[in-house]
Amino acid sequence: MAHLILASSSPRRRELLAQLGLTFDIESPDIDESIFKDESASVYVERLARVKAEVVQQHFPDAIVIAADTSLGLDGKILGKPESKQHAFEMWAQLSGRKHDVFSGVCVRTKDQICSIVVRTQVEFQRLSLGDMESYWATGEPVGKAGAYAIQGIAARYIPRIDGSYSNVVGLPLHETVQLLQTVKVLN
């Protein structure tokens, strides 16, 4: 198999990709992740995945690069990672008792091909009390997570249902990633 590189420093993406039994290296590109004016979450995550793949491909032209980005969409806005406790509480107040969308853009790039996809999963949050928020923040888990939560962790207790790919919410939709790898003939 060709040299496979995951263009991400996310430990969750690393764990998910390893579930596929693939051998890969990690290269985390340094890119500008600013949101463009009026950019939707789906367009944003696909753009970032493509840029990450391109940057890594420039350094490893013969490699097959997998890049991804995940963000939450709610009411036409992108919810990123919390900048502070107050910011996390503001996000949770918006998510509380509602459904929101989690979008992941995935790009697989070789020297000859670029394939990308956006995967959407709808996540429902229960109503969160101030006590729920205080308890969850105290765990440290929300720091560095889009939407200030990790479905694969303690936050699962607040999520009664999802519609779509669980691995997408964690950060890398595995089924669709395999499909992209099959398209570029890395997997059968």
Does any domain span residue 93? yes
CATH code (residue 122): 3.90.950.10
Does any domain span residue 96? yes
Does any domain span residue 179? yes
Distance CA 27, CA 14 (A): 11
Distance CA 160, CA 132 (A): 15
The answer on pLDDT for 69 being more than 80 is: yes
What average pLDDT does range 3-30 have in this prediction? 93
Does any domain span residue 99? yes
The answer on pLDDT for 1 being more than 90 is: no
The answer on pLDDT for 127 being more than 80 is: yes
Which residues constitute the domain of residue 46? 4-183
Q: Which residues partner with 99 through β-bridges?
A: 124
Work out the mean pLDDT of the chain and round it to a whole number: 94
Does any domain span residue 81? yes
Does any domain span residue 188? no
pLDDT at 188: 67
What average pLDDT does range 107-124 have in this prediction? 96
Instruction: Identify the active-site residue in 69, 75, 112, 163.
Output: 69
The answer on pLDDT for 171 being more than 70 is: yes
Does any domain span residue 39? yes
- Is there a catalytic annotation at residue 132? no
Does any domain span residue 36? yes
Burial class of residue 114, CB neighbours in 10 A (0-12, 13-18, 19+): middle
What average pLDDT does range 39-47 have in this prediction? 96
Quote the number of domains for the chain.
Answer: 1
Q: Which of 8-12, 47-51, 100-104 has the lowest mean pLDDT?
A: 8-12
